[in-house]
Structure 1
Amino acid sequence: MIRVVLTDDQPLIRTGLRVLIADTPDIEVVGEAGDGAEAVAQAAELRPDVTVMDIRMPGMDGLEATRRITGTPGGGTRVLVLTTFDDDAYVYAALRGGASGFLLKDMPLETILDGIRVVAAGDALIAPTVTRRLIEEFARQPPGAAAPRPSTGPARDARLRVVTEREREVLALVGRGMSNTEIAEALCISVATAKSHVARLFAKLAARDRVHLVIIAYETGLVG
């Protein structure tokens, strides 16, 4: 069972999510918070697997709360940002602050629920609409702050020599922001098989997280 704390300054949003999650057998809402300070306290007290975090809230906002929750040694709570604001500054600040996912409130419920599952499993998930902008931002960072960017075509191809054709297909879909469930549907394979392919990509490409896989997919030309 995935234990979740919902953080949003609008009670109606929290209530709606709680009611919808109540019908989901593998996710349980264990707490709610109306601002960032409450979210930090709930994370410390309840030790949820995932905190679903809004960004704009009175008092301590979601970005600061995310930094505090993910910066707690041994805390173990991962943060999925769920916001109305598709804004570059918020995306980058949330991910740099330690968030494992960034989704928008107008996305389908199943996408949000799957996002909770993905983040709880230790992966990262980013709304496809912001993926390309994220890559462009990483590309502008100083050396060492982002994944290495090879300067020639052969150097790009070299990294893909260790992966199979199926793993290339999976990497391309990860680069488009797809979750394991969406990859499984696109390739007509099981979710477990999709997850295994992603795990092998982490090992073969020495990727830090799913965001790093997205960067590699763009750098190697699998996604353009």
Structure 2
Amino acid sequence: MFNNLLTNEIWLATLLTLKLATFTTLILLVMAIPLGWWMSQSKNRLKPIIEACITLPLILPPTVLGFYLLVLFSPQNPVGHAWLSVFDSSLVFSFYGLLFGSIIYSLPFMVQPIRDAFLKIDRDLLDASSTLGASFIQTFRYVVLPLSKHGITTGCILAFAHTVGEFGVVLLIGGNIESETRVLSILLYDLIETNQMDSANQVALALVGFAFFVLLSLSMLRRSVKI
């Protein structure tokens, strides 16, 4: 009976983790392509500040980011209060709170590979497309995106994997609510806290296997680009 309950907990945590990582990756993809293009082309004086803000989660301790998101999302602050007024539910300790936090935390992992891919595109190809009468939309669709597919794919893999491995941000703004905010990293922490080491080992091994698969995929992707 106990093993069945634990298996069900792991299954629910896995589904929730995959759901969070998938939604985060899709939303970030929509955001990162135009943002990455702007970062690769713009000469705006504010660009270094915007780049620093986007890159900040790479350096900032997750608990610090989670703390400020917790404050921002709380009903006592404008963002959390507005969400509560519109949806009649708290943004803190909810799946949507996790989603917004994951988007912010994983943003640089999606944006940077896409920006770098855009920077590598030969400017002469863009000029030739324009000379032949193609619009910016056509050039972007048929020239820029195909030439940047490896960078976009890398960004998606990194963002998805980074979301799966979140802990500090997730714990602070999501807590530990089954089927709502208890993702695999939180479940692992919970199992260790309750001294269920065999089950914790199973979850940890699954996460290690996933991390290895991600690194192997990235290595193979880089090799295909060189070839």
- TM exceeds 0.5? no
Structure number with greater CO (CA < 8 Å, separation at least 6) is: 2
Q: TM-score if structure 2 supplies the norm length?
A: 0.28
Structure richer in helix, relative to its length: 2
Q: TM-score if structure 1 supplies the norm length?
A: 0.28
